[in-house]
Amino acid sequence: MPLHLLLSLVVALQDTTQPPPFTQDALRQVDSIAAAEFAKDSLGSITIGVVSGPALLWVKSYGYADSSRTIPATPTTVYRIASVTKQLTALMLLQLVEQHRVRLSDPVDRYFPEVKRIRALDPVASPTLVQLATMSSGIARDPDDKRKSQTGSPDQWLSTLIAALPSTSYAREPGSGYGYSNVGYSILGAALSRAANESYIAYQRRHILMPLGMSSTDFELTPSLRARLATGVDWDELIPGRLNYKDAANDNRAGLGFSVPAGGAYSTVGDLAKLVSLELGYGPHSVLSSETLKLRAAVPIAAHPSLSWGYGLGYQAMRWGDTVAVGHSGNLAGYTSMVLYDTARKFGVIVLRSAGGGEADAGRLAGRALRKLRSTISAGS
């Protein structure tokens, strides 16, 4: 069945399906899968959680949170979540749509006229908010400035973004196809903060993080978050006789420059479970109504020709046979992550890893765990 039809079935089932009561045996199988994945290289740490409906049903950590390998990771360990942040930016868009402060079809230059500074061979119409949110804006992935705009403190991200726009270009005409764009999502965040008349970070804290109870999520390291932050490590090379890897703890210490709305958040599995529960339809509805969630699901997905994956409004969609899940991956120096959830069956899997490269893989682990849990639902039906 094509991806868009499977997702339509997901929407139809959202309001009728009860969350699965996974057995202890099913959770032990997930534990076994996660332990085996981590053991492939034992780099950094991995924390994995299983969400069923409104609850974080199970969570476990493997490995160490510090570079000296003396402090074990725990369920409260903080990680960079990288591009999973885009789901928070998309949620901001949906809230402002719900409040009638913006429309999905609004051109971004209505709120952020600086977008006109992006280079184009021919004049192009301004991308719309929904094109930015669905990765069909036509804007290139990142500015072509040798990563100069990808450093800088979180409170300066907007000025860094504006300065980088003349080094940014269009890869294709807006609306003409899928193209992943980090700078496009930061432009979306800038436009939304203008529409809300509130800075992006302040808006996220006041209207999303605090109402969801995500007290261990932020764009700046508070003392509490810093004390629990896992040290990110990046695979370097395998030297005969010993594993050699570099410490990535300092790679992002100066901030991510323009990328705050695209990948700047820190979080924990427990906090992300609250976000997943919202996405599954368990509220709180004061943050986002079920009607707006249905609107989000109705926005067309920019799908790969294989129909095995695509990008919707703030989420990646993936399929394995007749299994479809949505969510988002994240990849940043020293950190990788994957959040996957099945909105039809109302459960999800969250994987946060304090390592980049190596043999283990956060996305593969999340996919295997989700499919294993899905198979136990089918077996018990």
Whether pLDDT at 231 is above 60: yes
Of 72-81, 106-115, 300-309, 360-369, the one with minimum mean pLDDT is: 300-309
pLDDT at position 15: 53
Q: Average pLDDT, stretch 367-372?
A: 96
Residues above pLDDT 90, as percent of the chain: 74
Q: Average pLDDT, stretch 294-305?
A: 86
Q: Is 240 exposed, middle or buried (0-12, 13-18, 19+ CB in 10 A)?
A: exposed
Q: Average pLDDT, stretch 180-207?
A: 98
Name 58's Cβ contacts closer than 8 Å, sequence gap at least 6.
Answer: 22, 27, 30, 49, 50
**Domains identified in the chain and CATH numbers:** 3-87+214-380 (3.40.710.10), 89-204 (3.40.710.10)
Residue ranges of E strands in 11-103: 45-52, 55-63, 79-80
Dihedral of alpha carbons 233, 276, 142, 7, sign: positive
pTM exceeds 0.85, yes or no: yes
**Cβ pair 229, 221 in contact under 8 A:** yes
Q: Average pLDDT, stretch 148-156?
A: 89
Name 290's Cβ contacts closer than 8 Å, sequence gap at least 6.
Answer: 14, 15, 281
Task: Give the total residue count for the chain.
Answer: 381
pLDDT band at 68 (very low <50, low <70, confident <90, very high): confident
Measured at the CA of 296, the angle between CA 214 and CA 308, to 5 degrees, comes to: 100
pLDDT at position 209: 98
Name 32's Cβ contacts closer than 8 Å, sequence gap at least 6.
Answer: none
Q: Average pLDDT, stretch 338-360?
A: 95
